[in-house]
């Protein structure tokens, strides 16, 4: 007689759901009943949990197992793996950690683990990895992130902190009621609203956009692609050359200044250095006025349109917002700093519906009304080594140990890394110029990876430990920008011989003699109770009806009420700047930063400025590589997570990622829809399939990231991973963030036999002994 399906509440970065399990198999995932716009990425989960790509046993790269010191490290990615039992694998990892720390010190151990991993906060792989490595003596860590790293280190100099880029901006409810014009530089891509770090009980972006439009907010989207205009919203699209938003903003400021439409009283009272910035805009410091005519030559937007938008913004309540993507470009600090200067010139910062914001359309929850109650978290502890590199400088660190680099006002030296420990994440997705990273990855003596699937990173490890997925453990999740706390019940036994990261690290910590320091004397469920208890008081204060843990666990979720008062960013500062100063040296908005001036960085002036990126359509290189490659987040997965899933595979063409081109650019190259093409520049090449898209402006090619890295050789990637093409250089010495969106390419029809995609094939596996 068939057994009735069992149902388990759970959570992913793409939304809360109920796992329906029968006969030990995940049948499907039902979206959380309170979610008004659930993500289809849930459809891929059953196939991924039970995927033939699951890593079922610990495995060691054959060459490393035979002779660690003499092994061919270039074989990472192609070598055979030897499957071993857990005792052997843990002994190898423990001994290697001890050896590296003893021979080279903690600064030879890199705790990578950059990635989203689980939405659960206990089994969050990056937190657990750093907690384990910190408890054992420390490691080299990472500072910042790939998502908004430039903003993270710029904004504290300008407005005192970086909360604005994490989603704590003026509430959508307030925008709908008060804003009349919303100018979105970089667009408002609803596909990105599927995702929230820590998970989402409700996907809110479509609802708030609809409410704002119904309330009379006029949207203007400044982007190379009309696809960044939200569907169902009658937004005006202004096509712009990629990486030139700063120039357009400067042209708008110039219009405001020369026509005396700027708010002189606001910049006098609330800003420092605006006069020096104005001198630059007017051309007094360099002889070049940053007029709308000048800006038009740089950004391709007609001067009359730039002027008209500036006048419209000055004549109505205006919200300026920038997507995260703008600061993921060479000199990506500049558009964020310039939009703050433009908003200051308009004088509406701190007023209902006015000012500036970041991240609308970059992630779910930005501007979502939510009380300031904490999200669940687990501490990684303190790092005894006190060393970290900027997150996007991994290849530089591995390739150039001992080299000096500048970062946010200080100088440091890249450590000499002998061992990389990675869990939860895929650097062969996140990083730029992947062929360069392949070379850098050969430097360490040992690479250890925890993974659930044979991803590109797992295939390039020396020791691979099989990790459980979300549904094979208990956890608790929630986001600081979502109103729900979610219970995550174990729905399935660990697949194969996989173990959760907490248990792996507990065993390794026991072997190293620091189990108590890592576990805090708690097991899985005790930690979940501890995390919940740490939130109870604040959530009650915020108005939530907070039951005891057992009742919460049985119900599956807890909800915060919407706050009684709208949040308006910088409202208190606007009302009384003396009583509510910003955390900048002056206590005001620093349009000119004396602190940054003191750093004396040639690539980051002390005020907003147009600094041409290394690659853009105005550069001389554009003749050889005439297309600007815009890499965007995919609609069918999270970064590279779920790329092997049904939804992602169905979206591919001929098994490859798609490249979107205007009809003009396709016809110029004799290309038709679904043709296979070679996308290339001096850094590499990949195969992709053409999509004719009239919503992409001429001169631009758009590719989603996330295709599992599948190189045929150093010259060709077979699967359509655009990060073989992107530029691996820091945005500037100030923030050293990624410059992925500054890349020029050419596209040509693929000629000759088409190599098969091997991204979803397992490596060769043999049993030990």
The DSSP-derived string for 700-712 is EEEEES-PPP-EE
Q: How far apart are CA 162 and CA 608, in angstroms?
A: 17
Q: Do 688 and 721 form a contact (C-beta atoms < 8 A)? A: no
Phi, psi of 217 (to 5 degrees): -70, 130
Give CA torsion, residues 761, 766, 767, 769, to 10 deg: -160
Active site residue 116: yes
Let me know if 695 is exposed, middle or buried by CB neighbors in 10 A (0-12, 13-18, 19+).
Answer: middle
Residue with tokens 């006015």: 354
Q: How far is CA 406 from CA 395, 553, 555, in A?
A: 16, 48, 51
- Strand-strand pairing, 711-713 and 25-31: unpaired
Q: How far is CA 546 from CA 59, 239, 542, 619, in A?
A: 45, 49, 10, 58
- Give which of 318, 275, 289, 645 is closest to 455, Cα–Cα: 645
The DSSP-derived string for 629-661 is EEEE--SSSBTTBTTTSHHHHHH-BTTB-EEEE
| List 8, 14, 64, 114, catalytic entry | 114
First CA to last CA distance, the chain: 43
Q: How far is CA 20 from CA 37, 302, 558, 696, in A?
A: 20, 55, 21, 40
- Strand-strand pairing, 765-767 and 140-143: unpaired
Active site residue 294: no
Q: Do 133 and 109 form a contact (C-beta atoms < 8 A)? A: yes
| List 8, 14, 64, 116, catalytic entry | 116
Report helix, strand or coil for 509.
helix
Structure tokens at 346: 């308009």
Exposure of 727 in the CB half-sphere (CA atoms within 13 A): 25
Alpha helices, H only, 136-216:
149-158, 172-178, 205-214
Structure tokens at 470: 């979300």
Residue with tokens 């949207």: 219
Angle between helices 245-258 and 292-299 (to 10 degrees): 170
Q: How far is CA 430 from CA 426, 606, 640, in A?
A: 6, 30, 8
Catalytic residues: 114, 116
């Amino acid at each position: 007689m068939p057994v009735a399906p069992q149902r388990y509440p759970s959570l992913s970065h793409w939304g809360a759901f109920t796992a329906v399990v029968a006969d030990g198999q995940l049948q499907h995932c039902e979206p959380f009943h309170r979610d008004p716009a659930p993500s289809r990425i849930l459809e891929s989960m059953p196939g991924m949990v039970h995927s033939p790509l699951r890593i079922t046993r610990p495995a060691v790269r054959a060459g490393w197992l035979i002779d660690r010191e003499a092994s061919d490290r270039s074989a990472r990615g192609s070598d055979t793996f030897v499957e071993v039992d857990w005792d052997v694998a843990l002994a190898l990892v423990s001994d290697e950690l001890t050896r590296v720390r003893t021979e080279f010190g903690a600064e030879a151990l890199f705790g990578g683990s950059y990635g989203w991993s689980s939405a659960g906060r206990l089994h969050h792989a990056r937190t657990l990895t750093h907690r384990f490595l910190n408890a054992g003596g420390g490691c080299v860590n990472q500072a910042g992130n790939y998502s908004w790293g430039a903003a993270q280190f710029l904004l504290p100099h300008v407005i005192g902190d970086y909360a604005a880029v994490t989603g704590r901006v003026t509430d959508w409810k307030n925008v709908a009621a008060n804003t009349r014009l919303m100018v979105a530089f970089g667009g408002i891509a609803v596909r990105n609203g599927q995702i929230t770090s820590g998970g989402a009980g409700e996907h809110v972006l479509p609802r708030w956009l609809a409410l704002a439009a119904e309330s009379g907010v006029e949207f203007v989207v400044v982007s190379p692609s009309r696809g960044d205009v939200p569907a169902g919203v009658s937004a005006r699209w202004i096509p712009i050359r990629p990486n030139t938003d700063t120039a357009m903003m400067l042209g708008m400021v110039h219009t405001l200044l020369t026509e005396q439409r700027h708010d002189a009283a606001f910049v006098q009272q609330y800003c420092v250095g605006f006069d020096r910035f104005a001198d630059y805009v007017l051309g007094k410091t360099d002889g070049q006025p940053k007029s709308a005519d000048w800006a038009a030559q740089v950004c391709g937007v007609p001067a009359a349109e730039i002027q008209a938008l500036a006048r419209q913004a000055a004549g109505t309540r205006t919200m300026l917002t920038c997507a995260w993507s703008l600061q993921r470009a060479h000199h990506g600090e500049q558009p964020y700093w310039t939009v703050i200067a433009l908003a200051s010139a308009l004088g509406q910062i701190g007023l209902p519906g006015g000012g500036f914001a970041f991240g609308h359309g970059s992630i779910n929850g930005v501007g979502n009304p939510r009380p300031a109650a904490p999200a669940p978290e687990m501490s990684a502890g303190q790092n005894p080594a006190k060393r970290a590199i900027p997150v996007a400088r991994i290849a530089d660190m591995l390739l150039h140990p001992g080299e000096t680099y500048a970062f946010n006002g200080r100088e440091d030296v890249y450590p000499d890394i002998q061992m990389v420990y990675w869990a939860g994440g895929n650097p062969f997705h996140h990083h730029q110029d992947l062929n360069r990273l392949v070379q850098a990855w050969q430097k360490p003596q040992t690479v250890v990876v925890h993974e659930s699937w044979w991803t590109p990173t797992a295939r390039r490890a020396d020791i691979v430990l099989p990790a459980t997925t979300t549904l094979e453990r208990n956890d608790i999740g929630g986001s600081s920008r979502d109103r729900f706390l979610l219970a995550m019940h174990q729905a399935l036994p660990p697949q194969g011989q996989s173990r959760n990261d907490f248990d792996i690290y507990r065993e390794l910590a026991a072997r190293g003699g620091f189990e108590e320091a890592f576990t805090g004397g708690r097991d899985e469920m005790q930690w979940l109770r501890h995390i919940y208890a740490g939130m109870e008081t604040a959530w009650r204060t915020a108005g939530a009806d907070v039951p005891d843990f057992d009742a919460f666990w049985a119900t599956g979720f807890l909800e915060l009420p919407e706050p009684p008062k709208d949040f308006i960013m910088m409202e208190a500062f606007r009302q009384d700047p003396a009583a509510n100063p910003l955390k900048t040296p002056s206590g005001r908005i620093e349009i000119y930063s004396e602190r940054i001036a003191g750093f004396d960085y040639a690539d980051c002036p002390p005020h907003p400025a147009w600094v041409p990126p290394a690659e853009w359509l105005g550069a001389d290189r554009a003749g050889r590589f005439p297309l600007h490659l815009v890499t965007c987040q995919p609609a069918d997965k999270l970064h590279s997570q779920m790329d092997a899933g049904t939804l992602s595979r169905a979206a591919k063409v001929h098994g490859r990622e798609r490249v979107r081109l205007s009809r003009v650019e396709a016809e110029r190259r004799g290309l038709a829809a679904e043709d296979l093409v070679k996308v290339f520049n001096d850094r590499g090449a990949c195969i992709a399939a053409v999509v004719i898209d009239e919503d992409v402006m001429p001169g631009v090619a758009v590719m989603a990231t996330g295709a599992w890295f599948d190189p045929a050789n150093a010259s060709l990637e077979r699967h359509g991973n655009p990060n073989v093409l992107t530029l691996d250089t820091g945005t500037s010495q100030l923030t050293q963030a990624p410059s992925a969106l500054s890349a020029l390419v050419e596209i040509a029809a693929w000629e000759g036999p088409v190599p098969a995609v091997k991204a979803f094939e397992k490596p060769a596996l043999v049993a030990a002994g």
